[in-house]
């Protein structure tokens, strides 16, 4: 029996997909269902049908999964932030392990026996609520009132919330006061369809270990009415606030940040501390969003490196240099490469801040300079921490011809990790360890570290 749009069917969910949706089958056709969990028996409505799969939405939970729990958040099924808050946390970890194993097996073409020998499982989050150190909240004027919240999954419809259970509690508190100020002063809200209005987003960053806060207002050009009153109120109430910035974005569309920053009060950065290392974080800096688990991640990278103080490290896709700087004191030299200029400047500042003299960071694309850097510095260890799309495959072309003895690959996307893993193994490297770290509790995102050694 073929199915079509608007058909109502019953289905049992068997697994979870990498994108967070539940997977079931109907007459051997794979069906993806958002907000569903393994063991759920559901009545669903089909909303799209493709050649090899279909998608459906829950109409009724006929029999809930034994792993289904009551989510603390009352908008969990509408907000695009958390996909798995209604799934028992231990089961979240099991599902993430299964996704990693299945992905490495199918895309990486690694046997299940080999994966079993190298995969070390997943390290749970120390705190799986209130762990995020950064929030970006869009504003919208709709139905004659100001709305603020997170975008609903795969849309630009704003879902409002009273409290976000994965943002830090201080961020939640400060945002409530920011929203009150915006509503009270009836600020003109940006409309991305017409490219008119003033306020677009609010960004809040919070350093866990130093307890500092940076507030950013993303606006179009124009006068910021009553901002002095806001600064007086917010800094009086929250001593943690160290800086307030206006980021000016006149571009049409949904890109969040513009190029121009205007310091409204205080300083344009906060400081975070990981053990004996300090990081200067600006509004635009890339920084791991779970500070506690970032320390766990960096310690594991250091463990995989097994440094003696003689190693030369090539930190590719370096970002602000946070990993390279974490390793610098126990290595001979670290060379970072990063394509985003602002991140490079942050990396230079962070090296100065920590009096680290054996670290440099260069502004270039990794694929443009890889061979040149390797020939010039002759690194022993290569750190790869690419964006979700993975590495440019050209960097692996000659990797077996160099002195690189170890590769440590850090990835938040198991699919591109698995793809690149095949390329690395094809160049006389062997995977020795694979480890997952839960950086993003209640979501489908998974951080992984893989260790490769040349044979």
Residues annotated catalytic, as ranges: 412
Helical H segments across 244-398, by residue range: 291-305, 322-328, 341-353, 366-377
Q: Buried b vs exposed e over 46-60: b needs ≥16 C-beta within 10 Å?
A: beebeeeebbbebee
Instruction: Return the closest-CA partner of residue 161 out of 134, 187, 184, 179.
Output: 179
CA 238 – CA 195 distance, rounded (Å): 33
Sequence-separated (6 or more) residues with CB below 8 Å from residue 266: 235, 241, 242, 243, 244
DSSP letter for 435, please: E
CB 349, CB 280: distance < 8 Å: yes
Residue located via tokens 């991305």 = 192
Sequence-separated (6 or more) residues with CB below 8 Å from residue 63: 40, 41
CA 204 – CA 211 distance, rounded (Å): 13
Instruction: Return the closest-CA partner of residue 99 out of 29, 38, 172.
Output: 38
DSSP string, 120-180: EEEEPPS-SSS-BSEEEEEEEEETTEEEE-EEBTTS--EE--S--SSB-HHHHHHHHHHHH
Q: Max alpha carbon distance in the chain (Å)?
A: 69
């Amino acid at each position: 029996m073929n199915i079509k749009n608007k058909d109502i069917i019953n289905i049992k969910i068997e697994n979870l997909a990498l994108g967070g949706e539940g997977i079931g089958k109907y007459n051997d056709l794979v069906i993806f269902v958002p907000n569903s969990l393994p063991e759920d028996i559901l009545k669903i409505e089909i909303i799209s049908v493709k050649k090899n799969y279909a998608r459906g939405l829950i109409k009724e939970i006929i029999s809930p999964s034994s792993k289904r729990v009551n989510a603390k958040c009352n908008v969990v099924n509408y907000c695009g932030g958390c996909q798995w808050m209604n799934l028992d946390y231990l089961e979240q970890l099991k599902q993430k392990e299964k996704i990693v194993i299945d992905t490495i097996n199918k895309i990486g073409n690694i046997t299940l026996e080999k994966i079993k020998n190298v995969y070390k499982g997943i390290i749970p989050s120390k705190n799986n609520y209130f762990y995020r150190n950064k929030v970006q909240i869009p504003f919208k004027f709709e139905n004659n009132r100001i709305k603020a919240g997170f975008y609903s999954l795969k849309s630009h419809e704003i879902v409002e919330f009273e409290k976000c259970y994965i943002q830090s509690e201080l961020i939640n508190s400060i945002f409530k006061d920011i929203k009150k100020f915006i509503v009270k002063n009836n600020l003109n809200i940006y409309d991305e369809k017409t490219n008119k209005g003033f306020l677009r987003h609010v960004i809040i960053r919070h350093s866990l270990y130093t307890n500092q806060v940076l507030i950013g207002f993303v606006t179009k050009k124009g006068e910021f009415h009553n901002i002095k009153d806001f600064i007086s109120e917010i800094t009086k109430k929250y001593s943690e606030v160290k800086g307030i910035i206006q980021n000016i974005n006149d571009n049409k569309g949904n890109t969040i940040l513009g190029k121009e920053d205007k310091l409204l009060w205080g300083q344009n950065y906060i400081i975070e501390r990981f053990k004996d290392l300090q990081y200067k974080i600006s509004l635009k800096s890339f920084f791991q969003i779970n500070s506690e688990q970032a320390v766990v991640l960096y310690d594991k990278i250091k463990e995989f490196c097994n440094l003696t103080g003689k190693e030369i490290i090539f930190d590719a896709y370096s970002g602000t240099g946070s990993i390279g700087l974490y390793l610098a004191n126990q290595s001979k030299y670290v060379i970072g490469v990063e394509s985003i200029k602002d991140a490079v400047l942050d990396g230079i500042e962070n090296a100065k801040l920590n009096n680290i003299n054996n670290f440099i960071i260069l502004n270039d694309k990794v694929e443009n300079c890889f061979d040149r850097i390797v020939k010039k510095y002759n690194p022993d260890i290569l750190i790869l921490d690419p964006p979700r799309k993975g590495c440019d495959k050209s960097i692996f072309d000659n990797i077996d011809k160099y002195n690189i003895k170890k590769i440590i690959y850090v990835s938040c996307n198991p699919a591109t990790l698995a793809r690149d893993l095949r390329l690395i193994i094809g160049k006389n490297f062997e995977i020795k360890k694979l480890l997952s770290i839960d950086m993003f509790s209640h979501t489908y995102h998974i951080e992984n570290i893989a260790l490769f050694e040349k044979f």
